[in-house]
Amino acid sequence: MKNDGIALSQQLVLGEVLARWARKRPEKEMLAFKENRFTYGRVNARVNSLANALLGLGVKQGDKISVLFLNGNEILECYFAAAKIGAVAVPLNFRLVGPELIYQIENSDSIAMVFGKVFAPVVDAIRGDLPGVRYFISNTGKGVEGVMDYETLVENGSPEEPGIHVNDDDPAFIMYTSGTTGKPKGAVMSHKNILMDSFNLLMEFRLSDRDRYLCVPPLFHTAALALAVTNVVVGATIVLEDNFVPQEIPKILEQEKITMTFLVPAMWIFLLQVPGIEGVDTESLRVCITGAAVMPTDVKKRIMALFSNAGVYDVFGQTEMSPCTTMLKPEHALEKPGSVGRAILNVEVRIVDVNNADVPDGEIGEIVYKGPTLMQGYYKNPEATARAMEDGWFHSGDLVKKDPDGFIYVVDRAKDMIITGGENVYSAEVEEVLFSHGKILEVAVVGVPDPEWGERIKAVVVPVNGVTLTREEILEHCRKNLAGYKKPRIIDMVDSLPRNAAGKVLKFKLRS
C-alpha cells in the first residue's frame, strides 16, 4: 500500500529513522568502513535503491530475507532495505555450517538470501537444499550463475523512498536463538521492539549525534544490532570493523576519536594485553560497554584506569527482549561486583519461584520480564511461545538473586547455556550432534571456566561398548555438523556418567 508519507512518519519504524536523518542532515557521516565513508544521504539512497530493486523482483511485504554478511555497509543496507518495504530480515550467524544454515533459512520461510562473497562456497554447497529461496543475491561480482549481483541491483534501483506503509507492530527481524531442546527458535522482533530498546539505551548512555561508535562484534548478534540502531536513531556515526584484531583497536580509538564501544569480556581482556596501549590517546572514549558474559571486576578496574574518561557499563539481557534488560552503571561498577545491575527504563523485572510467586531478596529464582521490547513470539512455534509467556511474563530461564538495593546477580542458567567468547552455546544442541555419531553411547556437555573465553566447552563421552573411538573422530564429526565456536575443546572418555537417583546427569560433577 502506497501512502503520502504522513501516516508512515507517525510510526516507530526503522526505515523512517534512517530517512529522517537523510532529510535533516544528508551530509552527516553515518558510516565508516575500511576506506569507505558514507553519509546519511548516501546510505539512505543505497538502501532505497536496494529496497526498490527487491520490490521489482517480487519481494513483498511480510516476505523473509536471510542475510549472511560480515560487518560492512551491505549488512546494514540489507536490514534497512527490508524494513523499508515491510519485509523481515533474518540475520544468519556466519559461523554456522551448512546444515545449521539450511535449518534457519527453511524454518524462517525465506524467499531471498543475500550474502557476502566470502560465503559463496558454503552457499553454493547448500543452494540445492533450499527450494523455497527464489532469489540469491551476492557481492561476488557479475557472472555467477544463479546469483544476482548486489551492486548491480543497487545501481539500477530507484533511490526514491519506496513509500510502503509499515506499522511499528509489524515484524522487522527473526533472530534465531537456541533453546533447551537444541533446536534454534526464531524470535520475532517488531520495529517497535527494536526502537524501544534503542530509546532505552539512549537514555542510559546519554548519547547524541556527536558520538562515534566503534562496532566490532558481528551485526547478526542482537546486542551489536541494537547498539548500531541506537546510534542511527540519534544520528551518530558508526565505525565498523569486520574482524576483531586487538592490535588494531587502539589505533582506531585514537584516529577515529571513538566515544563509545561494545566488546564482550574476552575481547576486553585481549585488548588490555596489546603492547603500548597505555600510550594511545583515548581521551574521547567515554562509554565502554560489556555484556554476553560476566566481566571480572579486576578487568573493569583495568579498563577504568586505562580509559580515565570512560565509564564501564555492564549490560545483561537476551534476544527475546531486544535484548537489553538490566544494566550495571559505572557508578556501581566496583560497589556491586558480580552484579548485572538493575532493570533499565521500560523493562519490568520479577524474580519468581516455580509457582510464579515472587521470592524474597537474597533467594534464588527465575528472572521474568515484560515491556515494549518483548518479542512477539517464536516464529511458527506457538507451543514454545506459550511456555515462554506463562502467567503474563516472559520466562528467561536465568536463575538470579536480588540484593536489598535491587541489584541483580546471575547465579546459574536453567537452560544449561554456555557462553564462550560472547557466543551462546546450548549444551543440548552440542549433545544432539554428538549423539548422532554412531560410536557414542552417552554424552554430556558442560561449560568450564576459561580465563580468556569465559567458558570452554567440555564433552564427557561414553563410547559404545566394544568399539574404538578417538577424540580425532569426535572432532571431525563436530567439524562437519557444528559451527567452530560450538565444538568441544575438552573431550573426556568415561565408562559412565554420574547420575542421581532419578537418572539425571549430575553436570556439576562433570564441571569439577
Distant-in-sequence, close-in-space partners of 106: CB < 8 Å, separation ≥ 6:
130, 132
pLDDT at 76: 98
14: DSSP letter: H
pLDDT at 247: 96
Q: Where in the chain is the domain with CATH 3.40.50.980?
A: 6-167
For residues 224 and 322, give the distance between their C-alpha atoms in angstroms, rounded to a whole number. 11
pLDDT at 414: 61
Fold of 6-167: Rossmann fold (3.40.50)
pLDDT at 1: 45
pLDDT at 4: 66
C-alpha cell at 308: 580515565
Distances (CA, A) of 36 to 39, 212, 238, 335, 353: 10, 16, 12, 42, 52
C-alpha cell at 210: 556527536
Residue 196: Cβ-neighbour burial (10 angstroms; 0-12, 13-18, 19+): buried
- Options 2.30.30.790, 3.40.50.12780, 3.90.1200.10, 3.30.1330.40; CATH for 192-413 is 3.40.50.12780
Report the chain's terminal Cα–Cα distance, integer Å. 60
Q: Is 422 left (phi over 0), alpha (psi -120 to 50) or beta?
A: left
The owner of cell 539512505 is 44
pLDDT at 314: 95
Convert 197-252 into a string of H (helix), E (strand) and C (coil).
HHHHHHHHHCCCCCCEEEECCCCCCHHHHHHHHHHHHCCCEEEECCCCCHHHHHHH
Q: Where in the chain is the domain with CATH 3.30.300.30?
A: 417-511
Instruction: Please answer whether residues 147 and 138 qualify as being in contact, where contact means their C-beta atoms are separated by less than 8 angstroms.
Output: yes
Pure H helices in 240-378? 249-255, 265-272, 297-306
- Options 3.40.50.720, 3.30.300.30, 1.10.1840.10, 3.40.630.30; CATH for 417-511 is 3.30.300.30
pLDDT at 338: 85
Per-residue pLDDT of the chain (512 residues; tens, 9 = 90+): 445 678 998 999 999 999 999 999 999 999 999 999 999 999 999 999 999 999 999 999 999 999 999 999 999 999 999 999 999 999 999 988 999 999 999 999 999 999 999 999 999 999 999 999 999 999 987 778 899 999 999 999 999 999 999 999 999 999 998 543 457 899 999 999 999 999 999 999 999 999 999 999 999 999 999 999 999 999 999 999 999 999 999 999 999 999 999 998 888 988 998 999 999 999 999 999 998 776 778 889 999 999 999 999 999 999 999 999 999 999 999 999 889 999 999 999 999 998 999 999 999 889 999 999 999 999 999 999 999 998 899 999 888 899 999 999 987 666 667 888 888 787 777 887 897 888 987 888 899 988 888 889 999 999 988 889 999 999 999 999 999 899 999 999 999 888 754 455 777 788 87
